[in-house]
A and B are shown apart, each in its own frame.
Chain A
């Protein structure tokens, strides 16, 4: 809900960069995990899913923010879902038109962007409270952070699971691919390893865990 008495803070670089690392939707807030694990068996799929999510995130947050003073509080979640579903249907048809091959690889997960808690979470927690410009910038940052995380996972999984990166052969033919990496368990294990690594680096750097100060924030978003 808009709060007319609250003074609008100016758009700073922080609004944009928060989503990239400090509040990274995947590694810190653990939002939108389903597509993160399901489509990251290659870098190409990860990039496509990331771009589709950025489009939906930015468009729906812009619209939610523009309409934030007109949406009655009681039906706001339903309204957000309908707005998001509209843009997801658009993306669904756009990807079908651009590349049917990619569409078949991503399967139902394009349509499942609707229930990505990241998008609904940002609409509820950010876009419904902030100005149009800020919402667009922030959701762009969030979307890029999401894509970054997808590519980080997809890169490791494709490299180890197929010996390739973006379809280019990296290792020699003697390399025995770790098939498990492109299968479902690999997704969980690679994400777990990235989280361990990030926790370790943050702990070395600041002496505290990255997830600690955002734990409460995260639970608010998820629920």
Chain B
């Protein structure tokens, strides 16, 4: 497959280089919000949405920064951009879809410090993606994050019902589970390699 094609970029961010399980981005919500499937689903939705918005905006802002030779401001402007796009998403949701806003609730502000979002912006810049490629990349990354966190939540709900030794409490067992999930996702590496 052509590694520059839109479908391959999507597939690569979604499965082959899954943001959580292969690149270790966005682990805080992955461990913190994966106890229940409903909340995990909402978190995944919110993250994917913010990822899409901030990725498109950071593409635009990178053009401006490059035009004025201000690359050293890239990190600061991306972070400010993500924080403000989270607030923007919050306001838009509050106005147009109060039901969804209530469901996402506290997760929205948390997304600001989700490294997966900044990761999308930084990776698309360093790989020199054009606008459509960036969109496809951010959609794939959002879908991949959602897949990983929902799979994890399903596994953890099953664990609630089983009898476990004390020492596996807290995050120890979640990490082991994530390791096994990550191992299975490595099977997708056969689909092709990317940068």
Contacts and interface: CB of A to CB of B under 8 A. Distances in A.
A212 B31 CA distance: 16
Interface string A53-91: 000000000000000000000000110011001101100
B186 interface: yes
Interface residues of A, number: 47
A38 B24 contact: yes
Contacts of B178: 188, 192
Given A34-B27, A34-B115, A117-B113, A184 B167 contact: no
B179 A112 contact: no
Interface of B: 21-28, 31-32, 72, 75-76, 79-80, 83, 106, 110, 112-115, 117-119, 122-123, 126, 166-176, 178-180, 182-183, 186
A88 B179 contact: no
A111 interface: yes
Contacts of A33: 24, 27-28, 31
The 9 A-B residue pairs whose C-beta atoms are closest, nearest first, are: A188-B179, A192-B175, A195-B172, A189-B179, A211-B170, A192-B176, A199-B167, A38-B24, A33-B27
Contacts of A191: 175
B24 A111 contact: no
A83 B36 CA distance: 35
Contact of A184 (B75, B126, B166, B182): B182
B142 to A, nearest CB: 17
A209 B169 CA distance: 8
Contacts of A222: 28, 32
A200 B104 CA distance: 37
Contacts of B179: 185-189, 192
Contact of A108 (B110, B117, B123, B182): B123
Contacts, number: 131
B169 A199 contact: yes
Nearest to B125: A108
B72 A34 contact: no
A222 B31 CA distance: 11
Contacts of B25: 34, 38, 112
Contacts of A92: 75
Nearest to A189: B179
Contacts of B186: 183-185
B31 to A, nearest CB: 6
A223 interface: yes
A85 B166 contact: no
Interface of A: 30-31, 33-34, 37-38, 77-78, 81-82, 85-86, 88-89, 92-93, 108, 111-112, 114-117, 120, 180, 183-189, 191-193, 195-196, 199-200, 203, 209, 211-212, 215, 219, 222-223
11 contacts: A34-B24, A38-B25, A82-B80, A92-B75, A112-B119, A112-B122, A114-B79, A192-B175, A195-B170, A215-B170, A223-B110
B75 A111 contact: yes
A183 B28 CA distance: 20
B21 A184 contact: yes
Given A30-B31, A34-B24, A185-B186, A199 B115 contact: no
B167 to A, nearest CB: 4
Most-contacted residue by chain A among B72, B75, B166 (CB, 10 A): B75
A111 B112 CA distance: 15
Contact of A81 (B83, B167, B183): B83
